C-alpha cells in the first residue's frame, strides 16, 4: 500500500513540472501564463515562443504522462487501477501544479501520453481523427475535445482492455471538458482562436 500511495504522489509531483512555464522563463524571462491565452501548455507556447519551444514542451508533457503510467506499473504491484490512477495524478499535477501556485495547463498533452501508454491503438485512432479535425478547422481545442471523447468510445468498440483503463478515460474526458469549458463557448460563438492566428484571449502578443 505504501508503494502504491508513493506512486500516486510521485506522479502528481512529476505532473506539476510545468515545462512551458520553465522554458518561457529560461528563454524570455517571462511568465507565459501572463501572455496569450494564459494557459501553460504547448499551444500557448507555440503562440508566444514559436514552433521549436512548442514541440519541445509537447514532447515533455506527453512524456510526463507516459512516465506516470510506468511509475504505476513499477510500484503498483498487481493492482490494475494504480497505473491508471497515476496517469490521472499526473494530469491533475499538470492542471494544478504544486510548484506554480496551482495554475497550470489543460492536460491534453499529458493525457495523450497517459492514454497512449494504457491503450495505444484506441488512442491512436481517436488521435488521428482529432488531428484531422484540427487540420480542417484549425481549432486545437476542438481536436483535444474530440480526442478525449472518442478514446473511451474506441475502448468500448475494440474491447479487451481492463476496466480501469476505460474508467480512467472517462475521468480524463471530464477533466478536459471542464478545463475547456470557456473554449467550448467560444467555439459555439465562433470566437475561438485558430492555430496560427496569433490571437489571444488576454491580449498578449508573441514575445520575440
pLDDT at position 201 is 44
The count of structural domains within the chain is 1
Question: Could you tell me the three cell numbers for 52?
Answer: 521549436
**Rounded average pLDDT over 11-38:** 95
Judge whether 88 lies within some domain.
yes
Indicate yes or no: pTM above 0.75: yes
Does the pLDDT value for residue 113 go beyond 70?
yes
**Rounded average pLDDT over 64-89:** 93
Judge whether 155 lies within some domain.
yes
Q: What is the residue range of 141's domain?
A: 2-188
Is 159 or 206 the better-scoring residue by pLDDT?
159
Does the pLDDT value for residue 204 go beyond 60?
no
pLDDT at position 200 is 46
Does the pLDDT value for residue 79 go beyond 70?
yes
Judge whether 197 lies within some domain.
no
Does the pLDDT value for residue 75 go beyond 60?
yes
Judge whether 170 lies within some domain.
yes
- How does pLDDT run across 123-171, given as a tens digit for each residue? 999 999 999 999 999 999 999 999 999 999 999 999 999 999 999 999 9
pLDDT at position 37 is 85
Judge whether 208 lies within some domain.
no
Mean pLDDT over each residue of the chain, to the nearest integer:
92
Quote the percentage of the chain above a pLDDT of 70: 94
Question: Could you tell me the three cell numbers for 79?
Answer: 493492482
**Rounded average pLDDT over 191-208:** 61
- Report which of 17, 1, 178, 168 is spatially closest to residue 85, judged by C-alpha positions: 168
Judge whether 130 lies within some domain.
yes
C-alpha to C-alpha distance for 146 and 129, rounded to whole angstroms: 8
Does the pLDDT value for residue 6 go beyond 50?
yes
Judge whether 91 lies within some domain.
yes
C-alpha to C-alpha distance for 11 and 76, rounded to whole angstroms: 12
Judge whether 196 lies within some domain.
no
For 183-195, the DSSP string reads: HHHHHHTT-PPPT
Amino acid at each position: 500500500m505504501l508503494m502504491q500511495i508513493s506512486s500516486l504522489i510521485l506522479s502528481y509531483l512529476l505532473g506539476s513540472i510545468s515545462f512551458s512555464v520553465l522554458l518561457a522563463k529560461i528563454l524570455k524571462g517571462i511568465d507565459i501564463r501572463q501572455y496569450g491565452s494564459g494557459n501553460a501548455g504547448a499551444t500557448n507556447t507555440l503562440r508566444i515562443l514559436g514552433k521549436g519551444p512548442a514541440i519541445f514542451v509537447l514532447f515533455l508533457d506527453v512524456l510526463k504522462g507516459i512516465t506516470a503510467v510506468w511509475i504505476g506499473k513499477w510500484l503498483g504491484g498487481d493492482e490494475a487501477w494504480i497505473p491508471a490512477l497515476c496517469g490521472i495524478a499526473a494530469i491533475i499535477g499538470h492542471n494544478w501544479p504544486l510548484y506554480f501556485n496551482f495554475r497550470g495547463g489543460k492536460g491534453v498533452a499529458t493525457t495523450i501520453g497517459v492514454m497512449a501508454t494504457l491503450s495505444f491503438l484506441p488512442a491512436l485512432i481517436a488521435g488521428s481523427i482529432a488531428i484531422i479535425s484540427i487540420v480542417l478547422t484549425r481549432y486545437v481545442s476542438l481536436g483535444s475535445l474530440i480526442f478525449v471523447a472518442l478514446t473511451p468510445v474506441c475502448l468500448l468498440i475494440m474491447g479487451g482492455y481492463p476496466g480501469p483503463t476505460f474508467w480512467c478515460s472517462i475521468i480524463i474526458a471530464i477533466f478536459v471538458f471542464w478545463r475547456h469549458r470557456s473554449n467550448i463557448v467560444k467555439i459555439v460563438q465562433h470566437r475561438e482562436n485558430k492555430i496560427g492566428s496569433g490571437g489571444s484571449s488576454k491580449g498578449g502578443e508573441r514575445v520575440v
